[in-house]
Structure 1
Amino acid sequence: MTHQAKKWMLVAATAMLASSAYAQKAGDWVIGGGALLYAPQDSTTPLRFVSPVERELPGSGASVKNATTLGLNVHYFLTDNWAVEGVLGIPPKIKLDGAGTLAPLGELGSAKLYAPSVLGKYFFGNPDDKFRVSVGAGVTYSAFRSIRLSQGLQNTLGGALKLPPGASSTSASIDSKWAPVFNVGANYAIDKNWGVTFSVSYIPMKTNATLTTQAGGKTVAVSKTRVTLDPIVPFLYVTYKF
């Protein structure tokens, strides 16, 4: 074997070893953390009193604002191509602004969103590839906690009941929901342990909000609205492979 042939064989072997260092293969654990944006493609039905009589607040509506938080996830590779992913993070504060006839009120309220997700994902290509595209699907459970309503909205609801400002108080609850998650991602291995991923999820989801108004220690009215969230969730995060 000539010196030149030995040289090329050494280069090829080095390249193969370097390539295999980037592998995400069966049995690997990969953790990640980064910026997660919750971007609702939202709509609401007009707020409607359902008790003691049914009556709609004409033209009333609301808009859910985008929220950014720290997202955390973990992958476990079942095979060289299939992985299970769990996603959670610091619950973002979701803010609700008035729309339609409620627009002059500005912010109507806020809530903390708890939405852990579990997905099955398929990674295209070979485990030694530095760049891999993934697709996935799974489920999420969304729960809304620490719900707060603005004083402006509370006074508006009280006024609709012919009550003076401050004579009533309104609390709210939002139904927790299971919903499907659809995901696509681009994954780049920086070295044998570190990488970066950008993924986008879509979550078709509708829920109901119930507002209970009290005066003098008694419930005087109940109102409801249906909220379509359908969020798009971009997630940019750094990964570390064990």
Structure 2
Amino acid sequence: MKRTTFQAGLIAATMLVCAGSAQAQKAGDWVFGAGALGYLPQDKTTPLRFVSPVDRELPGSGADVKNAVTLGMNLHYFVTDNWAVEGVLGVPPRIKLDGAGTLAPLGQLGSARLYAPTLLGKYFFGNADDKLRFSAGLGVTYSKFSSVRLDSGLQNALGGALGMPPGMSTTTAKIGSKFAPVLNVGVNYAFTKNLGMTFSVSYIPMKTKATLTTSVGGNTVAVSQTRVRLDPIVPFLYLTYKF
């Protein structure tokens, strides 16, 4: 009877775990990791509001920030057997924004690239020669949104709210960059002396503001804003290699 691909993979993983003696991380070690990094916003937005030339809210308008997954990479340096400094970078994902409330019929409103380098101080519980270690960390991230694009549906809706026919106006957007704290917990397993796997989860309490500028013929005719609470949960599953 042929083994399934899953069974074969499970047997191979078991052999890898049992092979050789494993030593986790100790003072002076550099540990590189790479894997799947998620961005799961627990978002809430205020209604879109014109702030110039008049102060007027679009009643019931809202937005929904979608989840994203990208390639994440990190590097630990172990200052002691238990304390480490971690830097995290990811291939900037494109974060998509869908309409909510009265804007829900528009579907996707726009998207932006997210750059979020992170620096953490982490404590690893247990001893350097333990295969299984838990960790907890605290740090800071800098979230920068660039290449912001607004879809035609939102462009036309904003123009229509100003009494303009579709295609007459153009709207650009800017999302504020922010420093924010990061809370992190993780579980780390050493397969061999050098190879391991980690699953960590971070929580980032963060607010920002999006400013939309509507223009006709290069001249600004209106400015609108919305405030966004992102508060993302960031799961990170990655393989590690100790140098």
Normalising by structure 1, we get a TM-score of 0.92
Q: Does 1:28 align with 2:32?
A: no
**How do 1:95-134 and structure 2 match up within 5 A?**
95-134=96-135
Q: Structure 1 stretches (4+) deviating beyond 3 angstroms?
A: none
Distance 2:217 2:94 in 1: 31
**How do 1:190-209 and structure 2 match up within 5 A?**
190-209=191-210
Provide the alpha-carbon RMSD of the alignment. Answer: 0.7
Distance 1:23 1:65 in 2: 36
Distance 1:74 1:129 in 2: 20
How far has the Cα of 1:89 moved from its partner? 1.1
How far has the Cα of 1:22 moved from its partner? 1.0
Report the 3-state secondary structure (helix = DSSP H, G, I; strand = E; otherwise coil) of the residue aligned with 1:155: helix
The one-letter code matched in structure 2 to 1:35 is A
**How do 1:167-186 and structure 2 match up within 5 A?**
167-186=168-187
Distance 2:24 2:213 in 1: 55
Q: Which residue of 2 aligns with 1:4?
A: none
The one-letter code matched in structure 1 to 2:80 is T
Distance 2:64 2:159 in 1: 21
Q: What count of residue pairs does the alignment treat as equivalent?
A: 224
Q: Which residue of 2 aligns with 1:53?
A: 54
Distance 2:36 2:184 in 1: 16
Q: Which residue of 1 aligns with 2:222?
A: 221
Report the 3-state secondary structure (helix = DSSP H, G, I; strand = E; otherwise coil) of the residue aligned with 1:157: helix
Q: Which residue of 2 aligns with 1:152?
A: 153
Distance 2:61 2:51 in 1: 15
- Structure 2: runs of 5+ lacking an equivalent: 1-19
The one-letter code matched in structure 2 to 1:204 is P
**How do 1:69-88 and structure 2 match up within 5 A?**
69-88=70-89
The one-letter code matched in structure 2 to 1:206 is K
Report the 3-state secondary structure (helix = DSSP H, G, I; strand = E; otherwise coil) of the residue aligned with 2:35: strand
Computing the radius of gyration from Cα coordinates, the structure with the larger value is: 1
Distance 2:150 2:218 in 1: 18
How far has the Cα of 1:216 moved from its partner? 2.3
Report the 3-state secondary structure (helix = DSSP H, G, I; strand = E; otherwise coil) of the residue aligned with 1:26: coil
Q: Deviations over 1:91-127 (max 9, x none)?
A: 0000000000000000000000000000000000000
The one-letter code matched in structure 1 to 2:168 is A
The one-letter code matched in structure 1 to 2:235 is P
Distance 1:102 1:23 in 2: 51
Report the 3-state secondary structure (helix = DSSP H, G, I; strand = E; otherwise coil) of the residue aligned with 1:104: helix
Q: Which residue of 1 aligns with 2:8?
A: none
Distance 1:39 1:81 in 2: 29
Q: Which residue of 1 aligns with 2:10?
A: none
How far has the Cα of 1:39 moved from its partner? 0.1
How far has the Cα of 1:217 moved from its partner? 1.9
How far has the Cα of 1:23 moved from its partner? 3.3
Report the 3-state secondary structure (helix = DSSP H, G, I; strand = E; otherwise coil) of the residue aligned with 2:209: strand
Distance 2:131 2:218 in 1: 64
The one-letter code matched in structure 1 to 2:193 is K
Distance 2:28 2:122 in 1: 15
Q: Which residue of 2 aligns with 1:39?
A: 40
Q: Which residue of 2 aligns with 1:8?
A: none
- Structure 1: runs of 5+ lacking an equivalent: 1-17
How far has the Cα of 1:209 moved from its partner? 0.2
Report the 3-state secondary structure (helix = DSSP H, G, I; strand = E; otherwise coil) of the residue aligned with 1:62: strand
Distance 2:24 2:132 in 1: 10
Report the 3-state secondary structure (helix = DSSP H, G, I; strand = E; otherwise coil) of the residue aligned with 1:152: helix
Report the 3-state secondary structure (helix = DSSP H, G, I; strand = E; otherwise coil) of the residue aligned with 1:125: coil
Report the 3-state secondary structure (helix = DSSP H, G, I; strand = E; otherwise coil) of the residue aligned with 2:136: strand
Q: Which residue of 2 aligns with 1:189?
A: 190
